[in-house]
Structure 1
Amino acid sequence: METGTLPAPTSPDLVVGLVGCGIMGRGIAQIAVLSGARVRLHDGREGAAVAAREELLATFAKLADKGKLDAGAAQQAGERLVACGSLEDLADCHVVVEAIVENLDAKKALFGALEGIVSADAILATNTSSLPVTAIAAGLKRPGRVAGFHFFNPVPLMKIVEAIGGFLTEPAVVDYLLALGKHWGHTAVRAKDTPGFIVNHAGRGYGTEGLRLLAEGVASVPALDNILRDTAGFRLGPCELLDLTGLDVSHPVMESIYHQYYEEPRFRPQVHTRQMLTAGALGKKVGHGFYRYGADGKKENVAEAAQPTARATSVWLSQERPELAERIAVLIAAAGIPQESGERPSESALCIVTPLGEDATTCCVRENLDARRTVGVEALFDVSRRRVVMTTPATDAQTLAMACGLFGATGTPVSVIRDSAGLVSQRVVAHIVNIACEIAQQGIAEPQDIDRAVTLGLGYPLGPLAWGDQLGPQTVLAILKNLELQTGDSRYRPSPWLQRRALLGLSLHHKEI
């Protein structure tokens, strides 16, 4: 298909049709019309297009009142925005974007109808978040002009859009949408037509691994969220995020991507959220989920279980991983507790190990330590805002009290978890990095685009490949190998993209010739 007959994405002659006037459709219409396009709104619901136009006009007026939009520009945008009563009114559109219900049959029927209305060179774009673009286009007379154009809610604020080419999509169509998305003020990234595309695919690692930790009884809900916020730097913990999104939205997506990838273990959902969904504990929207919410929508604070504290007489610190031990030695010195220097601990010492992808039990047995007096601690991630203490099954109460006293001596919160291969942040972040590496390996998107899409679409502190580089590909590989060895779960098998770059000392952004 040739797109040269279409007006340039920057042209004021460009006419964009928007079918579906819900929150996503209105958001797309807003950025399109404010960027200079003429926009036609249509919705199958009686009066919905007119109501959407009125709401957008009110939005433009508010932006003008706040000085965020010139009053003249607001008026001109309103003049370019037209509510249409029928699909036939979209006949002069150069690009039609659908944002209707997430149902394959409905989308196919819409595009089938549009084919007989719009010109032969018009582009048909779907804002689907989970359905295959290829399946939507299949059966059309001109499937090459159908592509994905996936925005995120709220569209004006989430400055990322995925342009997705299906199996039959002409490359020029995706190129045009990339330029259009950029003109509309968004970072536009190219993606292959695969389940979840880039962002929803890459995002599978956070929630599913967090839920796996809950299923194993490693941490409580507040501890899990606190650890991942304070040590790894996520804006919300996985349970907070699932409550915000709503399990009626997030759990079906988890199941859908898992099944679309033919039960790929990396994306395996957990039973707990299916039970919560069945029980109607959807999250913030209904007032209860992982947490409870007041009438004002604010989350009720749930504190982690209080731990007794005691002062250790001395501390013995494993030197198996000197670079990790050095970080913990600073905390021991700050607490004013003597650190033993012998190869073996004294009979009364608090013993500390710093696991990397392993559990405290394995470290304890390998070094022939007394498990009753041993704890593991998180040393790979930030320890300035929170310390994480991991017990072995044999750790006694006095040892735990001494560990909590040591790491909380300067007033920093301490979270206590049960023994787990990889603690919490190591498991979750390594899993996220590994999935991103597999996205790169499969050629779904360019490495730099993966990071751009994830940071803008999910708000992670770093793009997953950049995060892997910061930790060190060899370190991430070691965590995953130890996780796979200790759990026997193939969900942790390292991506070839990661393995080869770690072995060669290359960046995870490095592309082959």
Structure 2
Amino acid sequence: MTSETTTRTVVGVVGAGTMGAGIAHVAAAAGHDTLLLDARDGAAAAAVEQVGRRVRRSVEKGRLDEADAEALLARLRPAADLTDLAGCGLVVEAVVEDPAVKQELLRELAGVVAADTLLATNTSSLSVGAIATALPRPGRVLGLHFFNPAPLMRLVEVVRAPSTDQAAVDAAVALVAAWGKTPVVCADTPGFVVNRVARPYYGEAFRLLADPVGGLDPATVDALLTGAGGFPMGPCALTDLIGQDVNAAVNRAVWEGFDRDPRFTPSVVQDALVAAGTLGRKSGRGFLDHTEGADAPQPATVEPCTGPALRPGRGLDPLARRAGWHDQGEEPGSVEVVPTDGRTAAAVEAALGRPVVVLDAVRDPATATRVGAVASPACPPGALAALAAALAPAGVAVSPLPDVPGLVVARTAAALVAAAEDAVESGVTDRAGVDRAMELGAGHPAGPLAWGRDLGDRWVVGVLDALHAAEPTGRYRVPATLRARAMLAADRVSRGLGIGLVAAGPGHGTVRATVTETWLNGFGIVHGGLVAVLADTALAVACNSHGPLTVGAGLDVVWVSPGRTGDVLVAEARERVRYGAGARNGVYDITVRRDDGSGTGDVVAEVRGRTRSVGPVPAPSPDSPPQEDT
């Protein structure tokens, strides 16, 4: 679809509420004749007038030329009934989030418009495929999920149902891009991209607020996620703006859509707000008080004061340099400040045999204005006050935290990375699409996968495993691909041989490596032991994708053909049988092939692998040497 073609397309929008009017505004601004229809008498005309007022304010502020504004408004007009939309090349419905209503509307539209007209739903949480089932040609139905306010927000999720034709997706992508928006194509799954991946940003905050032992308050949680996490708005203030009832409804829809997966369990704290009618800004109160004249709540902050000598541990160098905080060596009674790895301060103290202060995660040490911290049980009094004094020269405040796994920012970051990895692993969209969607649709300062690369796969997995150990419900399960990458990053042998990850999932794993001179034996062919290492690595990826630490208990290898220099060898392991209550003991079939690009290259070896579960993965110590991720 060319730019000229897209601007000639007449666009219809059904539903003249805030979202429908915004979509109509976008289409008209992009050069389309646009018709806006609503079942309520006068609603479409009122929405057109509202768009006119917004456009004229833009002219007054110098953001829009007066001639362009008049041309835009000349292209936008109300429609009287569905038959007025007969000449449209695209119709977007933005009516109430009721599948029966949407389905009936699109069915009626299909009888009015041309056979090649695209029909789109702006649903944020309903199944596009289910809505399309009532239509005679479901292939032309897709989702175009705009974000509010539509004229300003750049992201549009282009939702492809199983029944949607590729030609319809391509046309929609071209059209959305011509409108100056950023399309992200995604599968028709609950929450699509943004409403799925963003759940932990709210859910982890609400979980902390629900903990009666923690004593955290909404202002402190928000201040940490903005001041240390770099988010533009904290989850409590953001859901107050959205409306607690609206956000809770999306939470519940995603939870139900995933068969009540514990990762999306609704919050009892939020449900209590909704039940009490404290819905946020629109009701005057939510997590925060929005009534006129109310004082803004202040986050918990430690007053700077002298205290025990503190030493910045490894990983805190950028923050320490910014504050001019120097390591004075191990003075008697000094306490080391270590970055969180997900474990509680008490657990780190027990592992190291000395008191510590654990610092919560910080997205950007150069710009952070606040950090959270907790002192281990044996810390001398005043340790947090001394930390506040050490960081004060950099303008960084310290909030005291309860000693919970993952603290605030770290657990949120790890859970967001896991949600993003799971979305990619599930085929919702690609890695670039997830990050674009979260930046443009949710306003995150960076995509979760980009943040995960900065944090490191091993760190993210360590935090998730620490959270899972405290709450083994499956809420914090690690996506198989993420665990496999973290495992390979820590495996010096695999890294030394250049073994890389191809794919991972529960009970299966695929790795690959290029044969170099170092792989060869005295006869110029691949050393059998190194082929076994490649097979064992695939086995480790497959069996440890379940979660617990599992080891190979034996390999039976049948050699089929030799490998030589330059061969690309691919080893694929698949679970044959698993046995033992709660264990991951099992038997795996592993095939090592030459990769000739066809996926059916010559077999080098057939391997039968046996595994034995030996317990949970231990979290790395702060004293352990850092490893680069692959």
In the superposition, the TM-score normalised over structure 2's length comes to 0.73
1:59 partner SS: helix
Distance 2:231 2:74 in 1: 42
Name the counterpart of 2:460.
476
Name the counterpart of 2:181.
186
Residue 499 (1) aligns with residue 496 (2): no
Q: Which one of 107, 115, 118 corresponds to residue 120 of structure 1?
A: 115
Superposition pairs of residues 88-103 of structure 1, within 5 angstroms:
88-103=83-98
**Alpha carbons of structure 1 residues 239 and 49: separation in structure 2 relative to 1, 3 Å:** same
Deviation at 1:482, TM superposition (A): 2.6
Q: Which one of 430, 449, 461 corresponds to residue 465 of structure 1?
A: 449
Name the counterpart of 1:198.
193
Distance 2:36 2:306 in 1: 68
Deviations 1:147-200 (A, max 9, x none): 100000001110110111112111111111111111111001101000111111
Distance 1:393 1:160 in 2: 47
Preserved contact between residue 311 and residue 329 of structure 2 (Cα < 8 Å): yes
**Alpha carbons of structure 1 residues 412 and 448: separation in structure 2 relative to 1, 3 Å:** closer
Distance 2:329 2:17 in 1: 62
Deviation at 1:472, TM superposition (A): 1.9
Deviations 1:355-412 (A, max 9, x none): 3111101001112235xxx432236544552232213467675555445455547653
Name the counterpart of 2:418.
434
Preserved contact between residue 350 and residue 403 of structure 1 (Cα < 8 Å): no
Q: Which one of 16, 19, 41 corresponds to residue 21 of structure 1?
A: 16
Name the counterpart of 1:107.
102
Residue 291 (1) aligns with residue 276 (2): no
Residue 155 (1) aligns with residue 150 (2): yes
Distance 1:225 1:30 in 2: 33
**Amino acid aligned to 2:49:** E
Distance 1:447 1:511 in 2: 15
**Alpha carbons of structure 1 residues 472 and 115: separation in structure 2 relative to 1, 3 Å:** same
Superposition pairs of residues 325-474 of structure 1, within 5 angstroms:
326=317, 334=325, 338-340=328-330, 346=332, 348-350=333-335, 352-369=337-354, 374-378=356-360, 381-382=363-364, 384-392=368-376, 398-408=382-392, 412-474=396-458
**Alpha carbons of structure 1 residues 61 and 323: separation in structure 2 relative to 1, 3 Å:** closer
Distance 1:128 1:91 in 2: 22
Deviation at 1:47, TM superposition (A): 0.6
Name the counterpart of 2:609.
none
**Alpha carbons of structure 1 residues 328 and 85: separation in structure 2 relative to 1, 3 Å:** closer
Distance 1:75 1:59 in 2: 12
**Alpha carbons of structure 1 residues 89 and 354: separation in structure 2 relative to 1, 3 Å:** closer
Name the counterpart of 2:581.
none
2:158 partner SS: strand
Name the counterpart of 1:82.
77
**Alpha carbons of structure 1 residues 101 and 368: separation in structure 2 relative to 1, 3 Å:** same
Deviations 1:213-241 (A, max 9, x none): 22224332211111111111011111111
Deviation at 1:49, TM superposition (A): 1.2
Deviations 1:455-474 (A, max 9, x none): 00111110111111122223
**Alpha carbons of structure 1 residues 260 and 420: separation in structure 2 relative to 1, 3 Å:** same
**Alpha carbons of structure 1 residues 133 and 9: separation in structure 2 relative to 1, 3 Å:** farther
Q: Could you list the runs of 5+ residues in structure 2 that have no partner in the other structure?
A: 490-494, 496-500, 504-596, 598-630
Preserved contact between residue 243 and residue 282 of structure 2 (Cα < 8 Å): yes
Aligned residues: 490
**Alpha carbons of structure 1 residues 307 and 108: separation in structure 2 relative to 1, 3 Å:** same
Superposition pairs of residues 123-138 of structure 1, within 5 angstroms:
123-138=118-133
Name the counterpart of 1:56.
51
Preserved contact between residue 133 and residue 166 of structure 1 (Cα < 8 Å): yes
Preserved contact between residue 312 and residue 350 of structure 1 (Cα < 8 Å): no
Identity %: 37
**Amino acid aligned to 2:124:** S
Superposition pairs of residues 209-358 of structure 1, within 5 angstroms:
209-216=204-211, 217-218=213-214, 219-295=216-292, 300-305=295-300, 307=302, 310-315=305-310, 322-324=314-316, 326=317, 334=325, 338-340=328-330, 346=332, 348-350=333-335, 352-358=337-343
**Alpha carbons of structure 1 residues 11 and 243: separation in structure 2 relative to 1, 3 Å:** closer
**Alpha carbons of structure 1 residues 408 and 110: separation in structure 2 relative to 1, 3 Å:** same
1:117 partner SS: coil
Q: Which one of 32, 36, 39 corresponds to residue 27 of structure 2?
A: 32
Preserved contact between residue 149 and residue 162 of structure 1 (Cα < 8 Å): yes
Deviation at 1:201, TM superposition (A): 1.0
CA RMSD of aligned residues (A): 2.6
Name the counterpart of 2:523.
none
Preserved contact between residue 147 and residue 166 of structure 1 (Cα < 8 Å): yes
Distance 1:404 1:56 in 2: 50
Distance 1:435 1:114 in 2: 37
Give the stretch that moved more between structures: 12-21 or 306-315.
306-315
Distance 2:13 2:486 in 1: 46
Distance 1:210 1:278 in 2: 19
**Amino acid aligned to 1:502:** A
**Amino acid aligned to 2:256:** H
1:323 partner SS: coil
**Amino acid aligned to 2:244:** L
2:123 partner SS: coil
Distance 1:104 1:438 in 2: 27
Deviation at 1:74, TM superposition (A): 2.4
**Alpha carbons of structure 1 residues 350 and 446: separation in structure 2 relative to 1, 3 Å:** closer
**Alpha carbons of structure 1 residues 415 and 133: separation in structure 2 relative to 1, 3 Å:** same
2:190 partner SS: coil
**Alpha carbons of structure 1 residues 469 and 91: separation in structure 2 relative to 1, 3 Å:** same
Higher RCO (CA < 8 A, seq sep 6+) = 1
Preserved contact between residue 13 and residue 92 of structure 2 (Cα < 8 Å): yes
Deviations 1:306-331 (A, max 9, x none): 646542243366x6xx334x457658
Distance 1:276 1:102 in 2: 22
Deviation at 1:12, TM superposition (A): 4.0
Distance 1:351 1:203 in 2: 34
Q: Which one of 31, 42, 45 corresponds to residue 40 of structure 2?
A: 45
Deviation at 1:55, TM superposition (A): 2.2
Distance 1:191 1:401 in 2: 48
**Amino acid aligned to 2:343:** E
